[in-house]
């Protein structure tokens, strides 16, 4: 009897150790969230306002590495020189984003290219509220810059939009 009890204790201890070392099973994604880390919002409707900052293009987009292929295509052919390709841009308040609760997605010529940085997204949302267009799709002009050749390699591209967050 004592031997059976010892075996049972050893089995329970091994199971507990396995559980601690392997970690808990991964929970299923929450409803409405994509499995596998893939998520892209879709803009719908027409923009209610067009923002312009006199061509300054001082607001940089983040998270571009995920959209590298689209950005490269939008940069167009520019040889070894740096690109400065202009495109119409859409700014989409992304309340359904499973990774960032105040996200603002950016599209150039209909292609997703990244997001406003979190602090910029918050300021942009506040600006929308001041203009009484909370959550609405808006537009601006965008630019793909960079990508010049240096020491035989292509440098990275960056995406900028012509929006002043003080507007």
Which residues in the chain land under pLDDT 70?
17-38, 167
Full DSSP string of 28-78: PPPTTSPGGG-------S--S-B---TT---EEEE-GGGGHHHHHHHH---
Q: How far is CA 52 from CA 68, 88, 122, in A?
A: 25, 11, 19
Sorted by where each begins, the domain ranges of the chain are: 46-161
C-alpha torsion 112→114→118→124, nearest 10: -50
Q: Are 86 and 141 in contact (CB under 8 A)?
A: yes
What the block records as the tokens of 23 is 């970690």
* 116-144 residue pLDDT tens: 999 999 999 999 999 999 999 999 999 99
CATH architecture of 46-161: 2-Layer Sandwich (3.30)
Per-residue model confidence (pLDDT) at position 107? 97
């Amino acid at each position: 009897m004592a031997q059976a009890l010892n075996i049972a204790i050893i089995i329970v201890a091994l199971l507990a150790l396995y559980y601690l070392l392997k970690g808990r099973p991964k929970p299923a994604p929450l409803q409405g969230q994509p499995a596998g880390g893939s998520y892209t919002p879709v803009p719908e409707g027409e923009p209610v306002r067009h923002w312009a900052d006199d061509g300054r293009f001082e607001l940089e987009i983040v998270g571009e590495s995920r959209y590298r292929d689209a950005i490269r295509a939008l940069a167009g052919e520019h040889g070894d020189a740096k690109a400065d390709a202009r495109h119409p841009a859409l700014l989409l308040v992304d309340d359904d984003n499973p990774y960032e609760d105040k996200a603002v997605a950016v599209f150039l010529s209909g292609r997703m290219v990244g997001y406003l940085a979190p602090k910029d997204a918050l300021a942009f949302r506040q600006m929308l509220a001041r203009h009484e267009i909370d959550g609405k799709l808006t537009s601006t002009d965008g630019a793909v810059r960079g990508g010049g050749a240096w020491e035989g390699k292509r440098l990275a591209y960056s995406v900028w939009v012509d929006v002043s967050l003080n507007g």
